[in-house]
């Protein structure tokens, strides 16, 4: 059984967040890449009669959450500055960068999950999932991409630190 919530989404979140650091807010992008998995977590832990991947795993629901997340992250942005400086990041992101990070992170999560899970309806109110793959290798490749993205993010981060010193 594949878990409906995993840290796999942090790999692409870190990689794209680092590569697009000057355009997207990294903390927002990281939170956005995992936040909608609160839905399966709550459905499982509270034993809800609700699909593991319901409304939040749709582009419509994800967009609403993205704007709420952008608003929340813009409010806590100052409190995150010391944490970012600990990792040698100088935050320069605008509200536009926070909104873009939120939208991109959540929508990318939906795109990665849609081929994997039969209960996702990404284009709700349409009941079908044209992105769904019944192919076992699709699951392998998506998980491999996430793991390799995490490794690549480590390399990008190390290169970023080295280039700052020179």
The model's pLDDT over 38-85, given as tens digits with 9 standing for 90+, comes to 998 888 889 888 888 899 999 999 999 999 999 999 998 877 777 777
Q: What are the start-end ranges of the H helices in the chain? A: 10-19, 26-34, 38-45, 59-86, 95-113, 136-165
| Mean pLDDT in residue range 101-109 | 96
Give dist(CA 14, CA 156) in Å, integer. 9
| Mean pLDDT in residue range 126-143 | 84
Residue linked to tokens 């939120």:
102
In terms of Cα–Cα distance, which of 77, 79, 87, 82 is closest to 25?
77
Q: Which residues contact 27 (CB under 8 A, 6 or more apart)?
A: 73, 77, 80, 83, 84
Q: Using the predicted structure, report yes or no on whether residue 147 has a pLDDT greater than 80.
A: yes
Burial of 16 (0-12, 13-18, 19+ CB in 10 A): buried
Asked if residue 125 has a cis previous peptide bond (ω within 30° of 0), the answer is: yes
* pTM of structure: 0.86
Give dist(CA 54, CA 109) in Å, integer. 13
Q: Using the predicted structure, report yes or no on whether residue 137 has a pLDDT greater than 90.
A: no
CB atoms within 10 A of CB 2: 9
Give dist(CA 152, CA 14) in Å, integer. 9
Give dist(CA 12, CA 36) in Å, integer. 15
DSSP string, 124-156: TTS---TT----HHHHHHHHHHHHHHHHHHHHH
């Amino acid at each position: 059984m594949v878990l409906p919530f995993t840290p796999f989404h942090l790999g692409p979140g870190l990689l794209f967040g680092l590569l697009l650091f000057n355009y997207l807010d990294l903390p927002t992008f990281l939170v956005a890449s995992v936040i909608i998995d609160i839905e399966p977590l709550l459905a499982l832990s509270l034993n809800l009669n609700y699909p593991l991947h319901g409304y939040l795993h749709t582009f419509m629901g994800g967009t609403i959450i993205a704007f709420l997340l952008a608003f929340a992250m813009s409010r806590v942005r100052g409190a995150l500055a010391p944490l970012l400086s600990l990792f040698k990041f100088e935050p320069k992101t605008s509200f536009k960068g926070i909104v873009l990070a939120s939208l991109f992170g959540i929508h990318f999560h939906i795109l990665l999950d849609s081929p994997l899970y039969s209960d996702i309806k990404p284009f709700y109110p349409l009941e079908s999932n044209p992105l769904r793959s019944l192919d076992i290798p699709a699951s392998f490749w998506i998980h491999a991409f996430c793991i390799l993205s995490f490794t690549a993010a480590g390399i990008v981060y190390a290169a970023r630190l080295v280039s700052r010193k020179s």
